[in-house]
Structure 1
Amino acid sequence: MKKYIVLLLIVMASCKSKSPNSGSDTKEAYSRYVKMDFKEVNSAKKNRAYDLGKRLLETCNTSKFKSFSKDEATESVIKNATVEKISKTCQKIIMRNGKFIDLQLSEVIHDVETDDYLFKYKIQYEKKYFERELNVTINKDGKVAAMNTKELAKKPM
């Protein structure tokens, strides 16, 4: 008889029902990076990103680079944007893509924690064989915190 009682208690303990899930315990999904509509972005930051990105890429066409001021960019960007580095990069890009034509804004991403904005531009070149993208990061002070270009992967037909 003791065996049946112990067995019954074990079965009862294992069949314990779960506590009901109330809606207050659920957490909202938090995303650090938010894709934004172009109209929602501050026009001063949008214009700063476009102007400085275009100025950097037009250097490839004219071979004359006007360095960034402390009001336009952070110290690290000013230090890294040297004439030697830019001309070396421009030679590779011109050989592969031809002359720079214009930039087209494709995406804006807001970093909620640092209040930075990442502007992604599609770069238009003479030769259409390869697609490139310019990424310009504007910090909360309105200065360029980072600039880089990358070649986009070809999309299969």
Structure 2
Amino acid sequence: EEKMAKGPYSEKVMEHFMNPRNMGEIEDANGVGEVGNPACGDVMKLFLKISDDGIVEDVKFKTFGCGAAIASSSMATELLKGKTVEQILELTNNAIVEALDGLPPAKIHCSVMAEEAIEAALKDYYVRVGKDPKIVDEMKAKIKDKVKH
């Protein structure tokens, strides 16, 4: 049992770990993404319910992993609600880390996983609505390009 001492984790991380938001699954999700890092045993599954006009109506997650992975998933779902597909893709792991008031360097990969799970869920959504999932990669590349300038 991990002792949750006041150490490397911010209060926000602790709070989202103790009381995760939007945990569970969406029965009629139209975008589901699962990513895993077997090396550290973290698996993250994200469920999106995207409306006909491309807005995230609901989002839930199931994460098997450490406190930072659960907190990252929880915070990510909070940041996704009500957003458009384009806005979802702009959500980087850095934004998740910032929203959590930081993560220890060894746990940054948890926020990267959350970003990857969002991307995977979005690709699944594109496939389900008959669009090319490669569009997600192209949009993501454009956004990354914008961020660099």
Q: TM-score range by the shorter chain?
A: under 0.3
TM-score (norm 1): 0.27
Q: TM-score, normalised by structure 2?
A: 0.28
Give the structure with higher Rg (CA).
Answer: 1
Whose strand fraction is larger, Structure 1's or Structure 2's?
Answer: 1
**Higher fraction of helix:** 2
